A and B are shown apart, each in its own frame.
Chain A
C-alpha cells in the first residue's frame, strides 16, 4: 500500500496533474453555482475534454476536481439564494440560507467550505485505508436495508415539525411522496398519474421542484415585504468570515461524526450524498440539546456543518464501489465509470493491480482537490457573499432569472417553466398558511428510491416479513421511527 501511495503522490503532484486539479475545481465551482447544473451534468459535459487529454490519471483527476468543485458551487447557491441546484445540497439550505438572511453569509460560506474540506479529506483518508475492506461490506446491503435507510433519511422532517406543525409536516411529506409517484418508474411498465400531460411522462423534475419550493417563494417574499432580506445588514457583516473559538469547538465534533457517517453511507451503492446529508442533519438535530435543537432550521451552524461534511464524505465514499468493484454507486459515478471505460481503464477488483497509478492518483488527487478548493474558495468568499449587497431592484430579477433558467436548461422545455411558476406561487401561499415546505422536497427526493427498494424487497421476500426477519432492516427502521417520533413527543412532554 505504501508503494501505491508513493506512486499516487508522484503522479498527482506532477505539474500537469496539479493544473488539472486546479482547473477542475475552478470549473466545477463556477458552473456548479448555476442552479440546474449539478455535478452529474458538469462531469458529463467535461467527458469529451477528459478523453481528449488521453492520459487516464490526468483525465480522472480533472473529473474528480470538477466533482468536488461542483458540490461546493451547489452549496453556494443554496446558502446565498436558497436555490439548491442538486439534491445533495438541499439540507445545506435548511440552515445556510437563514444564516445568510441574518447577515452571516460570509460565515455560512466559510463553515460550508471548512466542513466540505474536512468531510472530503477524512473521506479520502478512509478511502485510502479501508477501500478494499469496505467494498465487501457494501454488498451486504440489500433492497430491504436500503428501504430502511430511506426511512431513517426521512426522519430529517422532524426538524420542521415544530410548534403545532407535526400534522402539517407529515402531510407535506406524504404530498412529496405522492409527487414522486408521478411519471415513469424503474420498476413499473407504464407511467403513472400523468393526467395525460406528456411533459409529466418522466415525472416532476427535482430542480423545478427545488426552485419552486425554496428559491421562488423567497424571491417573492423579498418583493412582498421590502424590509425583509439580508441586505438590511451591513456589507462588512456579510463579508465577515471569522468563526469564533466557541463556534469552531461546536462544529468540530459534528464535522468529525458526519464525515465518518457520510463516508459509510456513500460507500453503499445507491445511497449517496443526498441520503448522507439528510441523515447527517437528522442525527445532529436529534442529539443536539435544548436550545441548540430549537436553532435547527433557523440558522444553526451545526445544521449547516453536518450536511456539508456528510455530503462531501459521501461523494468520496461513492468511489469505493466504483474503484474496487466497478459498481457505480450514484449517477455521477456512473458517468465516471463511462469515462474510465472510454479511457481503456477497467474499474474493478483488478484496478489496484493493473493500474495502480490510476487508482492511487485518483485517491491522492481527491485530497489535493480538497486543499485546492479551500485555498481557492476562502479568499473568494467575501466577494461571493457580497452578491447579497446588490440593490434589491437588480438582485431579485437575477434570482428569478437564475431560478427559471435552472429549471429550463435541465429539461429544455418551456412547460417546465410554467410548472415552476405554478408550484412556486402555490408554495408561497402554503408558507403563508405555515405549511413547512422542506418535508415535501425530502419526501419527493426519497420517495422514488423508497418505493423502488420497498417493492423489490416485498417481491423478493413475498411480503413484508423482511421488516422483522432481517436484523439490520429492523434496527434501521426502529431508529428511523424513533428519530421521527421521539423529538415530537419530547417537545410535548416539555410543554405539559
Chain B
C-alpha cells in the first residue's frame, strides 16, 4: 500500500496514453478535415497535459499516503493509524452489484426490499421484525412516488408476475 498515490498515477498515465492514442487515431469525417477545431483537438491536448501531470507525481519525492492512516478529507492529510472494516465494505459493494443486476429481472419492489434487508444484515442489524416492514414500506413509497406520481416506469415485480 506504500506509495499508493504513485501507483494510481501510473494507472492514470496508462489511461492518458490509451486516451491519447485513440484521440490521435480518431477517424475524422471528410468535411471535418478543413475545420480549425477538430473533434480530437482538445482530447490531444488533454492527453499530453494529463501524461505530464502523472509523470510529475511519479517522479516527485514520496509523500505519506493515507491508506494505513486516518480516513482523509478532500484536501486534508491524516495522522493516526486505524483499522478498517474492509470485509463489510466489500460485502456491501457485492450487494450493490447484485442489486444492479437484479433490479430489472426481479422488479423494483422485490430487489429493493431484499437489498435493504441484506445491507442492514451485513451491517449487523438482526431485528428482522423491524427491518422487513421498514424495507418493504420504503420500497413501496419510493416506487409509488416515482412510478405512480411522477410517471417514470419502474417494473415493480419479477418478470413472470408483471
A residues in contact (CB < 8 Å) with B: 31, 34, 37, 45, 94, 98, 159-165, 167-168, 170-171, 174-175, 177-178, 181, 185, 187-190, 192-193, 220-221, 223-226, 228, 297-298, 392-394, 396-398, 400-401, 404-405, 408-409, 412, 414, 417-418, 420-421, 425, 429-438, 451, 454-455, 458-459, 462-463
Instruction: Say which residue of A163, A404, A405 sits within 8 Å of B75 (CB atoms).
Output: A163
Rounded to whole angstroms, the CA-CA distance of A175 and B5 in the bound complex is 15
Query: A185 touching B39 by the CB < 8 A rule?
Result: yes
A-side contacts of B92, CB under 8 Å: 220, 223, 396, 400
Report if A393-B123 is in contact (Cβ < 8 Å); known contacts: A45-B151, A171-B53, A226-B85: yes
Instruction: Say which residue of A98, A189, A190, A414 sits within 8 Å of B103 (CB atoms).
Output: A414
Query: A421 touching B74 by the CB < 8 A rule?
Result: no
Rounded to whole angstroms, the CA-CA distance of A280 and B56 in the bound complex is 31
Query: A392 touching B123 by the CB < 8 A rule?
Result: yes
Query: B123 touching A397 by the CB < 8 A rule?
Result: yes
Report if A178-B124 is in contact (Cβ < 8 Å); known contacts: A171-B57, A298-B76: no
Rounded to whole angstroms, the CA-CA distance of A223 and B86 in the bound complex is 8
Q: Is B29 an interface residue (CB 8 A)?
A: yes
Interchain residue pairs with CB less than 8 A apart (11): A31-B150, A37-B150, A167-B60, A220-B89, A225-B82, A396-B119, A417-B100, A431-B71, A434-B72, A455-B37, A455-B42
Instruction: Say which residue of B29, B63, B93, B103 sits within 8 Å of A425 (CB atoms).
Output: B93
Query: A192 touching B26 by the CB < 8 A rule?
Result: yes
Rounded to whole angstroms, the CA-CA distance of A321 and B93 in the bound complex is 46
Query: B46 touching A174 by the CB < 8 A rule?
Result: yes
4 smallest beta-carbon distances between A and B, as pairs? A417-B100, A397-B119, A393-B125, A433-B5
Task: Please tell me the number of chain B residues within 8 Å of chain A, measured between CB atoms.
Answer: 75
What is the minimal beta-carbon distance from A64 to any residue of chain B, in angstroms?
19
Query: A463 touching B49 by the CB < 8 A rule?
Result: no
Per-position 1/0 for B10-27, Cβ under 8 A of A: 001001100100110011
Query: A397 touching B120 by the CB < 8 A rule?
Result: yes
Query: B100 touching A421 by the CB < 8 A rule?
Result: yes
Per-position 1/0 for B121-142, Cβ under 8 A of A: 0011100000000100010001
What is the minimal beta-carbon distance from A195 to any residue of chain B, in angstroms?
8
Rounded to whole angstroms, the CA-CA distance of A434 and B9 in the bound complex is 12
Report if A400-B96 is in contact (Cβ < 8 Å); known contacts: A225-B82, A433-B67: yes
What is the minimal beta-carbon distance from B91 to any residue of chain A, in angstroms?
9
Query: B101 touching A414 by the CB < 8 A rule?
Result: yes
Instruction: Say which residue of A170, A175, A433, A451 sits within 8 Å of B42 (CB atoms).
Output: A451
Instruction: Say which residue of B22, B29, B37, B119 sits within 8 Å of A459 (CB atoms).
Output: B37
Query: A171 touching B50 by the CB < 8 A rule?
Result: yes
A-side contacts of B103, CB under 8 Å: 408, 414, 417
Known: A394-B120, A397-B116, A430-B8; 20 extra A-B contacts, CB below 8 A, are A34-B142, A34-B145, A160-B74, A163-B76, A167-B56, A171-B12, A178-B50, A181-B43, A189-B32, A221-B71, A224-B84, A297-B74, A298-B73, A404-B100, A409-B152, A417-B103, A425-B93, A435-B5, A437-B74, A455-B37
Query: B115 touching A459 by the CB < 8 A rule?
Result: no
A-side contacts of B12, CB under 8 Å: 171, 175
- When C-beta atoms are compared, the residue in chain A nearest to B63 turns out to be A164
Rounded to whole angstroms, the CA-CA distance of A148 and B112 in the bound complex is 45
What is the minimal beta-carbon distance from A477 to any residue of chain B, in angstroms?
16
What is the minimal beta-carbon distance from B38 to any residue of chain A, in angstroms?
9
Report if A435-B8 is in contact (Cβ < 8 Å); known contacts: A162-B75, A414-B104: yes
Within 8 A of A (CB), among B57-73: 57, 60, 63, 65-67, 71-73
Query: B43 touching A178 by the CB < 8 A rule?
Result: yes
Q: Is B157 an interface residue (CB 8 A)?
A: no
Report if A192-B39 is in contact (Cβ < 8 Å); known contacts: A225-B85, A435-B5: yes
A-side contacts of B112, CB under 8 Å: 401, 405
Q: Is B153 an interface residue (CB 8 A)?
A: yes
B-side contacts of A458, CB under 8 Å: 36-37
Query: B85 touching A224 by the CB < 8 A rule?
Result: yes
What is the minimal beta-carbon distance from B126 to any residue of chain A, in angstroms?
9
- When C-beta atoms are compared, the residue in chain A nearest to B97 turns out to be A421
Report if A190-B29 is in contact (Cβ < 8 Å); known contacts: A224-B84, A400-B119, A458-B36: yes
Report if A167-B77 is in contact (Cβ < 8 Å); known contacts: A421-B96, A454-B42: no
Rounded to whole angstroms, the CA-CA distance of A270 and B22 in the bound complex is 31
What is the minimal beta-carbon distance from B79 to any residue of chain A, in angstroms?
12
Rounded to whole angstroms, the CA-CA distance of A221 and B39 in the bound complex is 39
Query: B75 touching A432 by the CB < 8 A rule?
Result: no
Query: B89 touching A223 by the CB < 8 A rule?
Result: yes
B-side contacts of A188, CB under 8 Å: 32, 39
